[in-house]
Amino acid sequence: MGKKLYVGNISPAADQASLEALFSVFGTVKKAYIVTDRQTGESKGFGFVEMSSDAEAKAAIDALDGKDCGGYTVKVNEAKSK
């Protein structure tokens, strides 16, 4: 099934590739993207990562939530449904 994860407080220097690389340590990343401002194209400081299994998602949350990544303390948790 897989889980979609919310990743908050991302460094402005981060890009999709670096986000995917960070989470790929914990398993297969199906999709990773950073939300950007429509007018400026700059990062809004958060994004989403979709992992291929629940176990991989849990491992990523346990390992990364509250940790320093690029000088920013990232928040990682299961994304809420719309």
Residue tagged 């491992």 (tokens):
59
User: Would you say residue 82 lies in a domain?
Assistant: no
What whole-number percentage of the chain has pLDDT above 90? Answer: 87
Q: Which domain holds residue 48?
A: 3-77
When pLDDT is cut at 50, 70 and 90, the band that residue 82 belongs to is low
The DSSP annotation for the chain comes to --EEEEEES--TT--HHHHHHHHHTTS-EEEEEEEE-TTT--EEEEEEEEESSHHHHHHHHHHHTT-EETTEE-EEEEPPP-
Inter-residue contact 6 to 32 (CB < 8 Å): no
For 44-58, what is the mean pLDDT? 95
The CATH number of residue 70's host domain is 3.30.70.330
State residue 2's pLDDT score.
63
Residue tagged 């590739």 (tokens):
17
At 68-79, the pLDDT tens digits run: 988 999 999 999
User: pTM of the prediction?
Assistant: 0.91
User: Would you say residue 57 lies in a domain?
Assistant: yes
